[in-house]
Structure 1
């Protein structure tokens, strides 16, 4: 099994070719982000991805925004899924990852949404993976397990940083629940959360080493489950981002760290971590 790192477009501002050039130079194997809706922009993105020999993971956001509009219907969420799939296919996406559903829904409503979204993905012959995310249907590990128990074919994009905030603790307290869903995890968002937030100021900082080690231990559980399933490639996206996630200084709002440097550090660290894990497990 090999590891592929993807550069997130979250927090990036600028021409798409610059994003591709940065990703290639920093050793990333692909880009993850929302595919554009306009055909001319899709063609340009495809040209850039081909030029820099990068893979693409399509991100789909349902319900109007990252925090969903409270009263969007299941059908409206599904329409967003279908549009996102169509746009991502124009870029030959490896798969799509979906921030979907709503935390206020009943579990029955969530299951209906996920089942229909999976059916849509099958129709378009592409894998869909659902992110564990605050404000969404998969906002706790326990709800996620119950949904997965009902829909065992469901694929997950694991972002534990959201669960750290919702549960107000690191997720190594919930290993049995996470082990139960580990084989469903298709993709990892490698952001490090802590007990009071979804993003540590810098994962290299010694005061947050406990949080980093906690996340890395669980990522190893995921890799082991993926290896057991026979997966040939595991993917991660270091996804430290802005929008209130990145810590800033009071009054000046100056960021305490550089996002691109953090994500590059995280990618390099996990490349080394995965190598050490693979050597230890005898899978190199």
Structure 2
């Protein structure tokens, strides 16, 4: 089984050439991010991906106001279920041309009823079936999969549903490391398509610095959960798996009062986490990797 480590576009420069060069220099296997709406930007990204032989996971964020300068990723209460599906479909429709491995989506709304969730995911999975493009649904705050229990219920309701597992969000929502929900973690591992390997803890979705000894317990817990996923993926016969160290600046990285100075370097942490997980994976699957 081969591990592809991707970097999120949100951790780098808005200049595509600079972003790609930094990604390659740091040894990442590809990138994860949204497909540009502008046709010329899409063409430029597609050319870079092909020329540099980079893997690509297409990111779909649904039900938002992309023109908002603040909290644009938060779903808006006035966006309908059809709006969410339309946003997802746009990315799915572009994914094959971009050479995406699959679509990972931050979708739905935490305020939806059970029936609204059933309607949405039922139609999303039908979109996956008709399009032939794999869709992986992310566990994320403010979204339908914002806690372990609604996720468990939806996974049981939809046997074909696959996950992008970002357990850092659940640590905040549950206000604890989620070993307490081991049976749900096992179910998630069986459905895991992709991992976002950010480390969260009870009060924040991103530790200040996962290298710090005060966060050793949180790091060990997340690595326990990621290993559970890798083991399940290996048992399912997957030959290639993906992981994105998704450490971010905007609101995730803590800052000093008054000055706004970040207390650690996101890119340095991202590169450290990438290398650590390569080593972790190699240790677990040295005979298979």
The reply to whether TM is greater than 0.5 is yes
Q: 2:288 is matched with which residue? A: 283
SS in 1 for 2:154: helix
Which of 138, 144, 158 is 1:151 aligned to?
A: 158
- 1:149 and 1:42 map into 2 onto residues whose CA distance is 37
Contact 1:21–1:52 under 8 Å retained in 2: no
Moved over 6 A (4+): none
Which of 164, 184, 193 is 2:191 aligned to?
A: 184
Q: Give the total of aligned pairs.
A: 282
Q: 2:107 is matched with which residue? A: 100
Contact 1:179–1:221 under 8 Å retained in 2: yes
SS in 2 for 1:19: helix
Contact 2:95–2:133 under 8 Å retained in 1: no
Q: 1:261 is matched with which residue? A: 268
- 1:139 and 1:14 map into 2 onto residues whose CA distance is 29
Q: 2:119 is matched with which residue? A: 112
Q: 1:53 is matched with which residue? A: 53
Q: 2:200 is matched with which residue? A: 193
SS in 2 for 1:10: helix
Unmatched segments (≥5 aa) in structure 1: none
Q: 1:73 is matched with which residue? A: 80
SS in 2 for 1:48: helix
Alpha-carbon shift at residue 237 of structure 1 (Å):
0.4
Alpha-carbon shift at residue 283 of structure 1 (Å):
3.4
TM-score by length of 2: 0.95
Contact 1:203–1:212 under 8 Å retained in 2: yes
TM-score by length of 1: 0.96
- 2:49 and 2:100 map into 1 onto residues whose CA distance is 10
CA RMSD of aligned residues (A): 1.1
Unmatched segments (≥5 aa) in structure 2: 65-71
Q: 1:121 is matched with which residue? A: 128
- 1:16 and 1:83 map into 2 onto residues whose CA distance is 22
- 2:5 and 2:134 map into 1 onto residues whose CA distance is 18
